[in-house]
Amino acid sequence: MASPARPLTVAKLQPDSATRLIYIDNLRWTMMILVISMHAADTYSPLGNWYYTDRSPLNTASVLSFAAWQMYLQSFFMGLLFFIAGYFVPASLERKGIARFVRDRGFRLGLPVLFYMFVLGPVVEYFLAHSWNSTRPTTFPHEWIKHIRNGQFLQENGPLWFCLALLIFSVVYAILPRRSAPRPTAAPGTPSLAGFAFVMATGAFFVRATLPPGFTLLNMHLGDFAQYILLFAAGILAARGRWLPELSFARGIRWLMILLPLGFGVWLSVLLAGGALTGNGHAFSSGWHWQNAAISAWESFTCVAICFGLLVVFREKLDSQGRVAKFLSDNAFSVYVFHPVFVIAAARAMHGLAWLPLVKFALLALIAAVLSFAASAAVFRRLPLLRGIL
């Protein structure tokens, strides 16, 4: 059902148009800020992994607050980025052809991964996080060589795992045969979206149940990849079928209004009944446990609801940019690459503050976001060696 809010334009129908989809740009930089907030939360929360942590005992209310923020973000924000990336793949491939498309993707995605693995990541590990531990005094060159020699660098691409995964997805799609030309099709309705969420939940549960707890490959947490693969594919289908202008604003709002409050009750009940606060956290992310199945279902339906809702809200209400939004949009990818530097540095500077962890988390997220965007614009995107990939 087409939204009656405004007429469709050529730019809205064609993702390869010279006119950018401003609301998609706004979604991107919003997700970048949420990424920073996730890693700020990792610093003080008992959940998640991060280079540098400054954790102290928390009361139940604080633990649940951190868990709500991190689990809700994890349920959708990276998946939505894969959807957005997938949306622009068909037009780019059609315009460039397979060889140029793969070459350009290797440049735009592969080079940042290599830069992080061999340059930025080691600097972060050795000088900021101090997470390269040695039993005797050592030097950065010695540790860097050891990092390469023992193969550790393959697992240390930091947040750039996203670019690596996106490169793999893009190349796989490029070499797959396409059986038909893109043509407009009806946007998915509620039954299709519910079915999609169910497939996502089933895939997540079985992958997490069969893999060892916390299993990663090249720093990619494969337990989340059922969602990522499906949303990347959904972005491709949305582009080929020209769905985004057709998604119903009213239906998207209904999904948000129904599933978010209902889902919060389900989420809290599952955590409490499943023993998340009493040392049974592993059952929620691995093994053939009902907690794993329940959280996978909650996560998948929450993902679909929030992604659907954000897409239509940004399309209808946030499809313009002033100077600030344009600045944030231009620097979003550079911030994604370099934000660990500022999250860790600011967290270390705040170590002595005897404040509540939730307050320190909010302040850290704000400081790291401001510094990341400012340094991106003033320094990183001006450097000749980085300008081409940022």
Q: What's the pLDDT tens digit per position in 236-257?
A: 999 999 999 999 999 999 999 9
pLDDT of residue 17: 41
Q: What's the pLDDT tens digit per position in 212-239?
A: 988 999 999 999 999 999 999 999 999 9
pLDDT of residue 179: 61
pLDDT of residue 273: 97
| Cβ-based neighbours of 153, under 8 Å, separated by 6 or more | 117, 118, 121, 122, 147
Token pair, residue 277, equals: 């606060």
Q: What's the pLDDT tens digit per position in 21-32?
A: 999 999 999 999
pLDDT reading at 5 higher than 50: no
pLDDT of residue 305: 98
pLDDT of residue 303: 98
- pTM, 2 dp: 0.93
Instruction: Give 4's pLDDT tier (boundaries 50, 70, 90).
Output: very low
Instruction: Give 19's pLDDT tier (boundaries 50, 70, 90).
Output: low
Q: What's the pLDDT tens digit per position in 308-338?
A: 999 999 999 999 999 999 999 999 999 999 9
Q: What's the pLDDT tens digit per position in 56-101?
A: 999 999 999 999 999 999 999 999 999 999 999 999 999 999 999 9
pLDDT reading at 376 higher than 90: yes
Instruction: Give 18's pLDDT tier (boundaries 50, 70, 90).
Output: very low
For residue 302, which of 337, 341, 268 has the smallest C-alpha distance? 268
Average pLDDT over residues 295-307: 98
Instruction: Give 6's pLDDT tier (boundaries 50, 70, 90).
Output: very low
Share of the chain above pLDDT 90, in %: 84
pLDDT reading at 142 higher than 80: yes
CA 364 to chain centre: 19
Radius of gyration of the chain (CA): 21
